[in-house]
Amino acid sequence: MGDNFDVIVVGAGLAGASAALRLAQGKANVLLIERGDEPGAKNLSGGILWGHDLDRLLPNWREEMPLERHIVSKRFGFLTRDRALSFEYEDAAWSKPPYNAHSVLRARTDAWLAKKAEEAGATVISQVPVEKLNIENGKVHGVVQGGEVVGAPVTIICDGTNSRTTLGTFIRPPQRLSEHHTELGIKEVFKLSKEEIDGRFHVAPGSGRAQEWVLSNLPDGIMAGGFLYTNADTISLGIIVNIASLKSQKMVSHDIIERFKSHPAIAPYLAGAEMVEYGAKLIADGQASAPAYLWGDGFMVCGDAAGFVFSNGILIQGMNYAIRSGILAAETALETLPKKDFSSAALGAYGQRLEAGHILSDFRKFRKVGKVKWNPRIYKNYPSVMTETFHEMMTERGQPKAHTGEIVKRTVKQGKVGRLRMLRDLYAAYKEL
Ligand SMILES: Cc1cc2nc3c(=O)[nH]c(=O)nc-3n(C[C@H](O)[C@H](O)[C@H](O)COP(=O)(O)OP(=O)(O)OC[C@H]3O[C@@H](n4cnc5c(N)ncnc54)[C@H](O)[C@@H]3O)c2cc1C
């Protein structure tokens, strides 16, 4: 069991690059392996980064990292065939350092973070897809590449949602991905000048807005949401579709994104913009692996590979958990290296850190959020009830006026959803979101 490195990190996304940087800062001999042409080349996020975990790695990251815009408002709404209803939260504090969140393009941020790891002393190699983990006597000991073992007493697995390296091993929980709670994310990036973006989204230079929409302009049964984020001189637009609902209908994901883009409330933002990037990726939100699969003899699992993605329909957060779990795994490895104990019991300190760092507790607390978010009535019935109610309240036709209560009674009846059912859904949202 020869050791080429102290620690091998598989995958240079935000989880892997954070782990490698923290290990290099702690003077460990670390190898970071990425399958893409370079770190970030294969990564996709909406993407709004809540990056305060980076404070622990690089205090000046906000000045140095290639960030797009700081987000000053968040809009959430519903799109029916030709109507839109939304609310927007704007906060003056978000316009001031240290800011709440930033829009990012992963090809830039991930490459930058991996470079920081390299500068700190990590060995970073790209264009190398790890074939499999090297498992000896039930323990992970590095990886197998090109038929040869690259050994290390600790391997940190950060290879994303559908973690190929853990597939078919004892590390991957049975039925790790449920299609009912797995989503397909598709994103397109459009080029637009900075000035056009400032004007169209009514933002000051450097500021940006984030929008998320429930798509109710799709065939019955399909459950999907859309997002629209401003970058420095591009716009990120995408959809997130529930896989089980997509399979049940005869519609391809391309048609869903086209309907989102051509909606009257969205199309003006894109007028004349040229698409410059396209990508698709799976999201297994709220499906954090059970502790038994997060660490063991010689290994720890971080980020998407561990299922650490949270989404409640209004926001999606995975990058923050990826960074935090990567740092926590690295700190666990730094603690165990001098003791030369890489057993499951010793690496169990990672579990304690995940608990103390609120990762496990967050996913426990919100484990039922998928049931609320993927309630078909949110996509089929409620948007039409709400937009019809506002339509009735806002349209003047010289007809007798009705009290709001009468309007709501009528639109709820038209929306074919019983009042009791609606109250139950509201209670579930109140309890689980
Ligand atoms: C459409 C969409 C929108 C999203 N929006 C947001 C958002 O706005 N905010 C947010 O916080 N999160 C968002 N997320 C979630 C976020 O993207 C992920 O949670 C985050 O990328 C996880 O980081 P990671 O490092 O764990 O995994 P990844 O970013 O997936 O990185 C995994 C890395 O491992 C590499 N790899 C894979 N297999 C191998 C192998 N065999 N050998 C070597 N390397 C390998 C990959 O190439 C990749 O670089 C979004 C996701 C999607 C799909």
pLDDT tens digits, one per residue of 4-28: 899 999 999 999 999 999 999 999 9
Query: Could you identify the atom of ligand 1 that is nearest to the CA of residue 319?
Result: 11
Q: In this structure, are strands 148-150 and 139-145 parallel, antiparallel, or unpaired?
A: antiparallel
CATH number of 7-68+104-177+287-367: 3.50.50.60
Inform me whether the pLDDT recorded for 418 exceeds 90.
Answer: no
Token pair, residue 256, equals 């869903």
Continuous segment of H or E residues that includes residue 253:
helix 253-262
Q: Report the nearest-CA residue for atom 17 of ligand 1.
A: 45
- Given strand 30-33, what is the order of strands in its sheet? 123-125, 30-33, 7-10, 154-157, 299-301, 295-296
* CATH class belonging to 179-283: alpha beta
Name which of 253-257, 326-330, 335-339 the model is least confident about.
253-257
Residues 329-365 pLDDT 10s:
999 999 999 999 999 999 999 999 999 999 999 999 9
Mean pLDDT along residues 240-256: 86
pLDDT of residue 125: 97
Query: Of residues 315 and 319, which shows the higher confidence score?
Result: 319
305: tokens are 């590979």
pTM value? 0.96
Rounded average pLDDT over 163-182: 83
pLDDT at 320 over 70: yes
Q: Which residues contact 287 (CB under 8 A, 6 or more apart)?
A: 176, 177, 178, 181, 182, 307, 309
Q: Tell me, what DSSP letter sits at residue 339?
A: T
Q: 106-119 and 14-25 are packed helices; what angle lies between their axes, rounded to 10 degrees?
A: 20
8 A C-beta contact, residue 213 and residue 79: yes
Pairing between strand 224-230 and 207-215?
A: antiparallel
Q: Is the peptide bond before 47 cis (omega within 30 degrees of 0)?
A: yes
The predicted-structure confidence for 371-399, as pLDDT tens digits, reads as follows 889 999 999 999 999 999 999 999 998 98
Please state the rounded mean pLDDT for residues 172-176: 77
The pLDDT score that the predictor gives to residue 286 is 77
176 pLDDT exceeds 80?
no
Question: Which ligand 1 atom is at minimum distance from the Cα of 302?
Answer: 26
Q: Where are the domains of the chain?
A: 7-68+104-177+287-367, 179-283, 371-432
Q: What is the pLDDT of residues 93-146, one digit of tens each?
A: 999 999 999 999 999 999 999 999 999 999 999 999 999 999 999 999 999 988
Band of pLDDT at residue 415, cut at 50, 70 and 90: confident
- Confidence band for 1, pLDDT divided at 50, 70 and 90: low
Residues facing 300 on adjacent strands: 156, 295
Nearest CA to ligand 1 atom 19: 318
The per-residue pLDDT of the chain, averaged, comes to: 93
> 341 CA distance to ligand 1 centroid (A)?
30
pLDDT in the model for residue 29:
98
Of 405, 417, 307, which is closest to residue 354 (Cα–Cα)? 307
Residue-wise pLDDT tens digits, 46-98: 799 999 999 999 999 999 999 999 999 999 999 999 999 999 999 999 999 99
For the segment 221-241, the average pLDDT, to the nearest whole number, is 96
| Max Cα distance, the chain (Å) | 85
Average confidence (pLDDT) over 205-234:
95
Q: How many angstroms separate the alpha carbon of residue 350 from the centre of ligand 1?
A: 21
Question: Which percentage of the chain shows pLDDT scores above 70?
Answer: 100
Which ligand 1 atom minimizes the distance to the CA of 186? 1
Residue in 37, 67, 106, 316 to alter for ligand 1 test, most ligand atoms within 8 A of Cβ: 316
> Which residue lies with its CA nearest to atom 31 of ligand 1?
13
Cβ atoms of 152 and 4 within 8 Å: the answer is yes
What's the half-sphere exposure (Cβ side, CA atoms, 13 Å) at 356? Answer: 9
- Cα of 162 vs centre of ligand 1, distance in Å, is 10
User: Using a 6 Å CB cutoff, which residues line ligand 1?
Assistant: 10-16, 33-36, 42-48, 129-130, 158-160, 164-165, 185, 187, 238, 240, 281, 283, 303-304, 309, 316-320, 322
How close is the Cα of 380 to the center of ligand 1, in Å?
A: 30
Question: What is the structure's pLDDT at 174?
Answer: 76
